[in-house]
Structure 1
């Protein structure tokens, strides 16, 4: 078991797509057992990366893998119609949500159908991990040999952007009598690529480490002492080579405090009449921090937030012995910082709201199970999700099965908030632009990212789209300084996800708001946005896990964190404030949010393209200095009005004060 050494920066998360899945190549495992002549295949279960060119041979037969079978809704069209009606202001059914029991009785697969599928899996020697009350899916485990035989295919190892993933080499098959009860199949291990969407200053690869100065003069070590990080915009300035007509730039933010974020966005402080009292925000991540309640209370003590107890902060988490796929999922230590970020951010945005944390037993089917626990019991009506996949590069069966869960949430009046991603349009990872799923689903609220600056008193100064380009500063032999590359630089250091979906048609609520040239008849994300830039990030505290095998932790420490993993829980907390103000739940909020943007222009802060002043100085732990230029988010562009970096704009307290216009 891996041991983590995180004392000097637990919050550091790599931008790369995670750890290599442990799948050894077999020298020859048994061929798949033939099914009866009448069998149905599931071609939409094939992952895009399971290609001959990527094939590394059969997966070792004794490797344990996870699978998931998705069962169809009894009336999908009816579930979509209900979700639309109860979420759309002006519809006679608006806010007439179904209880979990009523929704399950009306739309879920029957108990008999689920039992037939479960019994078949068991007959193949597979172990059932979980079946939710909704019966929308079955999560199971088995060896690669067992899964290959059960689905009449062979699991092979495939290379995918530096990783080795196990997946079928042909479309999975099931006996016709069972296949008739199944909507989709997932037996590839690509779902374990789900990762937290957080990032810290310095999380980038510097291709110019050995490069010469752009001016072609020989670089030497800099003798300039850089200014320290700033607690607010231009607390400290750094003299840099001329850029954008100036040489003086504010140093990057040390990490905003809850008070600064509350002041900037107009969110009620703990002393405010409206601070989310009476609301519950659920948070989903993989695994569980062993010190979360203690850590959030230390954080609250340090930054003037209310203390939490076992009533205001609750957890539903698996036992550590039930954690699985830890290496592929980056271990509990890899998710602990995300949990701390999510809890601290919700507590900042809605200091009086209750928080429910539900942890998955892994970063695959375990996240679905965590979501279903909330939906099947309606344990909260706001759910923050700060994780995502690499674009929409998932089998269609997985996407369709996951959307059924989103439809259940909307039909019950539960708002799902998903971070839009930290890798821009994902072209660097996929070779083509794509928004991240699940944020691209038309039944969730996708939260994009911004760069935010505040003044000495914590007041909002300016905000632009999050997308950081860095240019390294070098000192030349003659003592002059220059940049390694032409501005804005040759280092892409993260940016908000978003863009036009290749999977989903344009939802009605986006028509007339999202430009036709951008949508082209498809869903565009994000919907709204909030602070995400790690160079203007938020302080977060935790006692880092230093040994994943024992979950032993080190001393409590704080650090600045960003990413749309920060934006999503901030918006979820603001939604709790809006619900308290409006005296009722928002449910799936997108139709109301888009209508509100039409009725009250300016209710969201329109995040516009950056001006020349929107750049910072950053000094790395190694002493290297960089100019950070904002609003450089791959092919995604910040514009006046709706855009695919920040959506309708950033959320502020005005939304909470005016949401009653469309919700009553």
Structure 2
């Protein structure tokens, strides 16, 4: 594995900034002299490049012609079937090619698009006055920016504005097209802003709570429920529910020693030695290394050694699309959680953070930065789209990046999402992408109970319901509605509408659930913010200057937590076995069939588990139920909330040892 020095990190940051600046300069000087291109014939249209939300009912208007939109074109693999077969072979225990990975240059030479095809596409885009901002060494895609007028002319379409997910997005009203000499080489054209809705799968116990009066608590809560440091440290009396009148309170936020005990980390000081976990998010926290070291000092972890934490990030002046992407402050908590979760379990592992200049194509560029140099064999990705609501061709284009990772022996771990089956957002059930890709490991979520002695007690599927505790007119206490209450949030998952069922799931995933398609997640880990993880952060107070406030601690959850915890455990396993797992799913499903694998099958509890939570935001108190995740449900064996079960270090080691 090639290691990145601190000087290399700084140099990469400068080069990225310089390259992007030069690209913009070249594009701007060329714009005025460009004539409209000829209209390509209909046979070169890409109907699968129109996002599913770009329909007439959602249409709200026409954007200004000089509005700039980011685009990305994915090229076809010359032999996609061979690339998939190779990725499967090198990832499947028992196959003669198992773990016989290719180096990045060899994979690119054997399976990547021809350089002449990439160059022709770049020339075409520049010839239409658009700015080419990134072309990875793999040649899998080309990122560019152009005005609405330039995009309409170059792709013979009409960009319109649409209402989706509470945002006004630009997207094509008709299938984009390319000239015949380029069309045969291109798989997908992404010229919509839907990908800028990529968000971290991050959840906090008090997020979105609203006080009943003037934004302030209405008075003392009927029940005072101070948070607990371990399961049922504090118990309170509430109205009868689930056959009980006393429940423990929500967890303040587990600390590293508690999760080390719960997940079987036996040598904390050396856990993950010799491994690098890469983390991808949008933008970059200006205080991350300082925050992580302060956090480590307060929680008995070793501070980062020189060079143990490194990052490759764009200059903050080149951050793009901040409003649609949720601002750098909206991603800071994610990066902080990812780094401190990995370091909390695998304290000796190196961490490489690679930040995108936005939450769209910048994420792909960050991934290619890692893959084209194989800077790590484990990549944690705690973000996703709303279901699979991205143009179908683009889904397949992004899957080519996953194929490259598998062929090189790089394991990609993606959070499965925090909104259950997404039906409330989309009107239909859908797993989140990229977690639904057959060539990544999707990480679902659990609610975790850790005892007083850092011992594992139990887990349930992460599916949180809440019911407010209220005072009745006669002074007694009751609930604001029927139990279990309203769905709050829970692990994403379900059956893909796009990707066929991979062989590794056959015989494990119930046929009635799969119906011939990929089902996610594959594994799970702690995600419930009511049993969440404590982090330390100096919050960004100004998204323009990136000034930060004072260091503080808070609790986070979401499958954004489950994903780096799983990646950290795989780093510990690779360190212990001196093996590179790469794309882990075939090995995960094979290991899960063995009783001694160490996987924890997460099943419904005989007696429903619940907690009491007092919100510091609204002043309300709630009974918080578990294991009610929209249409998704836990069951013995595989299920669409936790996959084959909860990840543990022994399970990860059995996966790596095959």
Q: Is the 8 A contact 2:445 2:525 kept in 1?
A: yes
Q: Is the 8 A contact 1:500 1:524 kept in 2?
A: yes
The equivalences for 1:156-167 within 5 A come to 156-167=160-171
The equivalences for 1:242-641 within 5 A come to 242-271=240-269, 275-489=271-485, 491-601=486-596, 603-621=598-616, 622-641=618-637
Q: Is the 8 A contact 2:42 2:177 kept in 1?
A: no
Q: Is the 8 A contact 1:277 1:352 kept in 2?
A: yes
Q: 2:648 aligns with which of 649, 652, 655?
A: 652
SS of the residue 2:545 aligns to: coil
Q: Is the 8 A contact 2:162 2:169 kept in 1?
A: yes
Name the CA shift for 1:450/1:36 in 2 (closer, same or farther; >3 Å): closer
Q: Is the 8 A contact 2:195 2:360 kept in 1?
A: yes
SS of the residue 1:84 aligns to: helix
Q: Is the 8 A contact 2:421 2:430 kept in 1?
A: yes
Q: Deviations over 1:27-55 (max 9, x none)?
A: xxxx9865255861111101111111111
Match of 2:113 in 1: 109
Shift in Å at residue 205 of structure 1? Answer: 5.7
Shift in Å at residue 180 of structure 1? Answer: 2.1
Q: Is the 8 A contact 2:291 2:538 kept in 1?
A: yes
Take 1:508 and 1:170, find their aligned partners in 2: how far apart are those partners? 36
Match of 1:133 in 2: 137
1:66 aligns with 2:62: no
Match of 1:149 in 2: 153
Match of 2:197 in 1: 193
Take 2:100 and 2:109, find their aligned partners in 1: how far apart are those partners? 16
Name the CA shift for 1:137/1:657 in 2 (closer, same or farther; >3 Å): closer
Take 2:563 and 2:419, find their aligned partners in 1: how far apart are those partners? 15
SS of the residue 2:246 aligns to: strand
Shift in Å at residue 70 of structure 1? Answer: 0.5
Q: Deviations over 1:104-161 (max 9, x none)?
A: 0001111111010000000110001100000000000011111111111111000113
SS of the residue 1:174 aligns to: coil
Shift in Å at residue 227 of structure 1? Answer: 3.0
Take 1:223 and 1:342, find their aligned partners in 2: how far apart are those partners? 34
Take 1:357 and 1:90, find their aligned partners in 2: how far apart are those partners? 33
Take 1:208 and 1:424, find their aligned partners in 2: how far apart are those partners? 27
Name the CA shift for 1:145/1:474 in 2 (closer, same or farther; >3 Å): same
SS of the residue 1:77 aligns to: helix
Take 1:603 and 1:291, find their aligned partners in 2: how far apart are those partners? 37
Richer in helix (by share):
2
Shift in Å at residue 640 of structure 1? Answer: 1.1
If the length of structure 1 is used for normalisation, what is the TM-score? 0.91
CA RMSD of the aligned region, Å? Answer: 1.8
Shift in Å at residue 270 of structure 1? Answer: 2.7
Match of 2:13 in 1: none
Name the CA shift for 1:552/1:257 in 2 (closer, same or farther; >3 Å): same
If the length of structure 2 is used for normalisation, what is the TM-score? 0.92
1:87 aligns with 2:91: yes
Q: Is the 8 A contact 2:40 2:156 kept in 1?
A: no
Shift in Å at residue 170 of structure 1? Answer: 0.6
SS of the residue 2:245 aligns to: strand
SS of the residue 1:411 aligns to: helix
Shift in Å at residue 253 of structure 1? Answer: 0.3
Q: 1:171 aligns with which of 162, 172, 175?
A: 175
The equivalences for 1:180-259 within 5 A come to 180-204=184-208, 224=222, 226-259=224-257
Take 2:304 and 2:219, find their aligned partners in 1: how far apart are those partners? 49
Name the CA shift for 1:242/1:578 in 2 (closer, same or farther; >3 Å): same
Question: Aligned residue pairs: how many?
Answer: 620
Take 1:107 and 1:310, find their aligned partners in 2: how far apart are those partners? 37
**Comparing 562-571 with 106-115, which one deviates more in the overlay?**
106-115
